[in-house]
Amino acid sequence: MAHRRGFLREFLTNRSTVGAIAPSSKGLAKAITKPARSCVGARRWLEVGPGTGVFTRELVDAMGEGDHFDVVELNAAFCKTLRADVLPQNDHVVLHEGSIEDASISGNYHAIVCGLPYNAFPTNVSRSILRRLVQLLRPGGTLSFFEYAAIRHMRSAVSSKSVKRAMLWHATFIARLEQDMRGRRELVMMNMPPAWAVHLTKEDAQP
Ligand SMILES: C[S@@+](CC[C@H](N)C(=O)[O-])C[C@H]1O[C@@H](n2cnc3c(N)ncnc32)[C@H](O)[C@@H]1O
């Protein structure tokens, strides 16, 4: 409950970067972290935009010997919560406080889990971040993120022409990524609002 209150407070002060009024559900956390948890061997994981750590907890609980986990969060209050309540104190889990656009991380990840509110970002920002995340994957690695069901239709219905155009560009970009990267989607109804967990896998031949 304290995490939910903290989340709402951060949304009210940083709407455009937090992008949601409440943390995701455990059901969405299970769906979005599935590819990361399913890899075998010594795994390298990245999570971007963990907020209060709903997805992070699933990954921390699934960590085994030899795994490495980088976590990138922009919001200072969320970083404090993550340090205090979610992340273990060891060298295998590293919290990078700041934007994913500036994070010094080396890449070659088996799985990336991303909780960023893409639909709330300007299209050039969301595209450049998504491209960077794809580059940070190793061949065969999976990028997982979520989209609220019908969010683009709802925003388009009540928005200006420029926002409508941005929503369309964004939808086209995501559809192309899903086509190029063996995209698959799972609808999670037990989330407020219901959301799609989207998974993209990088082919060996991907530049
Ligand atoms: C919609 S919330 C999702 C939080 C959590 N993953 C969940 O599903 O409950 C988006 C999160 O992304 C973070 N964020 C936004 N822009 C970011 C950026 N450029 N780099 C890293 N984190 C960012 C916000 O601070 C916030 O914690």
> Which residue puts its alpha carbon closest to atom 24 of ligand 1?
18
Instruction: Report CA(18)–ligand 1 centroid distance (Å).
Output: 5
- Mutate which of 7, 70, 75, 132 for ligand 1? The one with the most ligand atoms within 8 Å of its CB, which is 75
Do the domain assignments include residue 120?
A: yes
> Which residue puts its alpha carbon closest to atom 4 of ligand 1?
51
Q: Give me the mean pLDDT over the 168-196 stretch.
A: 93
The CATH number linked to 194 is 3.40.50.150
- Residue 121 alpha carbon, nearest atom of ligand 1: 16
The pLDDT of residue 3 is above 50? yes
Do the domain assignments include residue 138?
A: yes
Do the domain assignments include residue 19?
A: yes
Residue 171 to residues 116, 123, 127, 152, 174, Cα–Cα distance (Å): 16, 10, 11, 8, 5
Candidate from 63-67, 75-79, 149-153, 197-201 with smallest mean pLDDT: 149-153
80-104 per-position pLDDT tens digit: 999 999 999 999 999 999 999 999 9
The pLDDT of residue 207 is above 50? no
C-alpha–C-alpha distance, residues 15 and 68, integer Å: 31
pLDDT at 180: 94
pTM, 2 dp: 0.93
Out of 17-26, 131-140, 144-153, give the one with best mean pLDDT: 131-140
Domains: count for the chain: 1
The pLDDT of residue 206 is above 60? no
Instruction: Report CA(143)–ligand 1 centroid distance (Å).
Output: 15
> Which residue puts its alpha carbon closest to atom 14 of ligand 1?
49
Cα separation of the two ends of the chain = 44
Which range marks the domain in which residue 6 is found?
2-201
Q: Give me the mean pLDDT over the 21-33 stretch.
A: 95
**pLDDT over 90 percentage in the chain:** 70
Do the domain assignments include residue 175?
A: yes
DSSP 100-129: TTT------EEEEEE---GGGS-HHHHHHH
- Mutate which of 5, 10, 15, 17 for ligand 1? The one with the most ligand atoms within 8 Å of its CB, which is 17
Do the domain assignments include residue 207?
A: no
Do the domain assignments include residue 206?
A: no
- Residue 17 alpha carbon, nearest atom of ligand 1: 15
Of 33, 51, 53, 52, which Cα lies nearest the Cα of 43?
33
> Which residue puts its alpha carbon closest to atom 20 of ligand 1?
99
